[in-house]
Amino acid sequence: MTDQQHSAPTGRRLDLLADCSACFGLCCVALPFAKSADFAANKNAGTPCRNLQTDYRCGIHPALRERGYQGCTVFDCFGAGQKISRHTFDGRSWREDPDRARQMFEAFPVMRQLHELLWYLAEALELPKAKPVHAELRRAFDRIEELTLRDAAGLIAADVPAIRAETSELLLQASELTRNALPGKKRNHRGADLIGARLRGADLRGANLRGAYLIAADLSGADLRDADLIGADLRDADLRGADLTGALYLTQAQLNAAKGDSATRLGAGLARPAHW
């Protein structure tokens, strides 16, 4: 949906970055969306978006936000689109092989979830303080990568919830090893409802914000260095002047959903969204 590529952190694998030029527009076809503040129209799963062109690119990409498709600008497939298009289905698109289109559309969201887990695991393997669990992280990475190389039927049969639960525990261990090495007491807001919270200038360094609801929260000027932000909902969160250096498991999609400015400090591999 974003029709672009992002820079990867040092050591991060390029095949975990979205490359829309090598994909058959799967996020614009396979996934459903409902008319809302994020999407200007309804679309059923398996139905091409009305803005998808014959070359599988978005016809309104430069103006997605202005045309009411903000949701498209915050989606990231973590490279799943090109993996399904070029590997799983050997470069044959849903237009060329309509008999297999349904299977392709079912496999895509599974691949997307597996690639997201690979992205987090790759980041955890870059954390020096997480060295005690690096071997386990590597084994988990290799197991999941093996799944992504299976055929479509094998992908669809994958028990993603179980894989996610097991991986989440390892990622948490890596996070705790990293954050516990920091001085001082760390705040624990895991899964907290912080919608609209006033956290301007808050000291959240090394905090646990996993799965926290930070929608429209005022985090301007906040210290979020080394905070664990995996799964945190940052839609419309105010990150102007905030320091996100070294934030753990922070994705480009989360940043794209938030608001920031030129003073917002980001870690390596994260791009400052154009709408900031």
For Cα atoms 125, 12, 1, give the angle at the middle one, nearest 5 degrees. Answer: 125
Contact 73, 256 (CB under 8 A): yes
Query: Which pLDDT belongs to residue 10?
Result: 43
Tell me the three state secondary structure of residue 14: helix
**Domain 186-276 sits in CATH 2.160.20.80:** yes
203-217 burial, b at 16+ Cβ within 10 Å, e below that, comes to ebbbbbbbbbbbbbb
What does the pLDDT read at residue 12? 55
For residue 194 the two structure tokens come to: 């912080």
The span from the CA of 255 to the CA of 250, in Å, is 8
Please state, in angstroms and rounded to a whole number, the distance separating the CA atoms of residues 192 and 130. 25
Q: What is the pLDDT of residue 13?
A: 72
Distance CA 108, CA 77 (A): 9
Tell me the domain boundaries of the chain: 14-178, 186-276
The series of mean pLDDT values per 10 residues for the chain, 276 residues long, is 42 81 97 95 96 96 94 95 97 94 97 97 97 98 97 97 97 98 95 98 98 98 98 98 97 96 94 93
Quote the CA–CA distance of 248 and 226 in Å, as a whole number. 6
The residues near 175 (Cβ < 8 Å, ≥ 6 apart) are: 124, 130, 208, 210, 228, 230, 248, 249
Give residues with Cβ within 8 angstroms of 166, minimum separation 6: 140
Q: How far apart are CA 100 and CA 104, in angstroms?
A: 6
Question: How many Cα neighbours within 13 Å face the side chain of 153?
Answer: 0
Q: Is residue 248 helix, strand or coil? A: strand
- Determine contact, residues 159/179, Cβ cutoff 8 Å: no
CB 224 within 8 A of CB 237: no
Paired with 223 in beta bridges are 203, 243
**Would you state the pLDDT for residue 268?**
86
Structure tokens belonging to residue 181: 């090495």
User: Quick one: pLDDT at residue 8?
Assistant: 42
pLDDT recorded at residue 96: 93
Contacts 24+ apart (CB under 8 A), 246-255: 248/123, 248/127, 248/175, 248/178, 248/179, 249/120, 249/123, 249/171, 249/175, 251/76, 251/119, 252/6, 252/76, 253/74, 253/75, 253/76, 254/229
204 within 8 A of 228, measured Cβ to Cβ: no
